Amino acid sequence: MDEIVLKWVTVLSGILTVIVCVSVFFFPDIHERAVLAAEQQKEVGGGNLIATTANPKAVVEQSKDLNAQLKIALPEGISKADVEIENDYVTQTIYIKFAGGVDDYFEQYAIKGSSDHIASMAYYKDKEEGVIALQLDQVYELKNRFKKGSLYLDFIDPHDIYDKVIVVDAGHGSHAAGAVKLGISEKSLNLAIVQQLKKLFDEDKRRIRVYYTRTSDTNPTLDQRVQLANKANADLFISVHNNSDATGNFTKVKGTQVMYSESDDAKLSSKKLAEICLKNVVDTTGSENRGLLKGDSIYIIRTSEVPVALIEVGFMTNYKELDLLNSTSYQKKAAEGIYNAINEAFQEGY
């Protein structure tokens, strides 16, 4: 009898090991997420990190008569000048950092208000500071005020304060360079175009809020990129990439191509948005029009719940086009094309 049990345990643990090995091999994302979580912790607290997570429903003392969503009691002696609030839109996490820190914030201090919209809470402490981290259920803008040793926080739906909300994604980043041709990496070209686009929106006085998945050499996960669009309920989600010939070799193939979600059958569809993007980028850059491409095989296109267009501005495997893509003047033209496309899309009713 014991032998049979032992045999089964051996067989089952064998199967389990195989499953774990195979999934780690096929889903590097698991590894990437673990690394990301570790990096985030490192950033939050340097030395002796104390981390506590708490159930928002249990910690937030429900109180309806507050003139704010949350009233967060600050430790003694902490004033407005000692508090730093960071709203990380990409992960929908709000970090409230205060000097000094206390050992166990949730045990010692009170948070009053409503736990609605808070998915999870954590408290980190190291030698220098304490950090309360609130993970929210969507992208919010913050309103804060300080009064008598407390921080009052309100979460505001961006659509309540802006006429339009856009998410712009510069493809790849950090150790994920995308294609690299003649020492030029796709991640840098994508980012350079998005930075030119950001300049245009920074000068735009209309009530348009643009959230960027990245504005420097970072690499949010694909899920974080698309969830930023979904959780901001963006009017448009634009992802900027550059193309390579399938062989990876330098060829004569050149031009602009835009990918869309073929499963999006809304009147203001992903395909219609892609058409608008293609036309406008070809107009400003003078590049060859290579048409539209079905994109549901691409994760961020398939899982986008908002109108999405993935623009492949040009081919890095064409000597002449790579040269153009690497120039500031062409990057500006591409950005202008995307900017014009966004404006046209708004006129169409997106």
Span near Zn ion by CB under 5 A; candidates 49-57, 87-95, 237-245, 335-343: 237-245
In the complex, what is the shortest distance from the CB of residue 324 to Zn ion, in angstroms, rounded to a whole number?
Answer: 17
Query: 147 in helix, strand or coil?
Result: strand
In the complex, what is the shortest distance from the CB of residue 312 to Zn ion, in angstroms, rounded to a whole number?
Answer: 7
Residue whose pair of structure tokens reads 């006085």 in the numeric block? 205
Measured distance CA(194)–CA(334) in Å, rounded: 9
- In degrees and rounded to multiples of 5, residue 344 shows phi and psi of -65, -40
241 binds Zn ion (CB under 5 A): yes
Span near Zn ion by CB under 5 A; candidates 1-9, 85-93, 164-172, 202-210: 164-172
For residues 242 and 178, is the Cβ–Cβ distance under 8 A? yes
* Of 149, 162, 114, the residue nearest 134 (C-alpha): 114
* Of 96, 197, 205, 213, the residue nearest 146 (C-alpha): 96
Span near Zn ion by CB under 5 A; candidates 16-24, 145-153, 175-183, 201-209: 175-183
Q: What tokens were used for 194?
A: 């998005």
Cβ proximity to Zn ion: between 113 and 171 the closer is: 171
* Of 159, 157, 190, 193, the residue nearest 173 (C-alpha): 190
75 binds Zn ion (CB under 5 A): no
Cβ proximity to Zn ion: between 115 and 304 the closer is: 304
Q: Is 126 exposed, middle or buried (0-12, 13-18, 19+ CB in 10 A)?
A: middle
Span near Zn ion by CB under 5 A; candidates 5-13, 58-66, 151-159, 235-243: 235-243
In the complex, what is the shortest distance from the CB of residue 288 to Zn ion, in angstroms, rounded to a whole number?
Answer: 19
In the complex, what is the shortest distance from the CB of residue 2 to Zn ion, in angstroms, rounded to a whole number?
Answer: 57
In the complex, what is the shortest distance from the CB of residue 163 to Zn ion, in angstroms, rounded to a whole number?
Answer: 31
Task: Find the binder of Zn ion among 45, 101, 171, 173 (CB under 5 A).
Answer: 171
130 binds Zn ion (CB under 5 A): no
Task: Find the binder of Zn ion among 75, 138, 144, 178 (CB under 5 A).
Answer: 178
Q: Measured in whole angstroms, how far is the alpha carbon of residue 290 from the centre of its chain? A: 29
Nearest-CB residue for Zn ion: 241
Span near Zn ion by CB under 5 A; candidates 153-161, 165-173, 269-277, 287-295: 165-173
In the complex, what is the shortest distance from the CB of residue 284 to Zn ion, in angstroms, rounded to a whole number?
Answer: 21
Give the full edge-to-edge strand order of the sheet including 83-88. 50-54, 118-125, 129-136, 93-99, 83-88
Give the full edge-to-edge strand order of the sheet including 150-156. 60-62, 111-113, 70-73, 150-156, 141-147
Cβ proximity to Zn ion: between 165 and 193 the closer is: 193
For 199-220, give the DSSP string.
Answer: HHHHH--SSEEEEES-SSS---
Q: By CB under 5 A, how many residues form the interface with Zn ion?
A: 3
Interaction site with Zn ion (CB under 5 A): 171, 178, 241
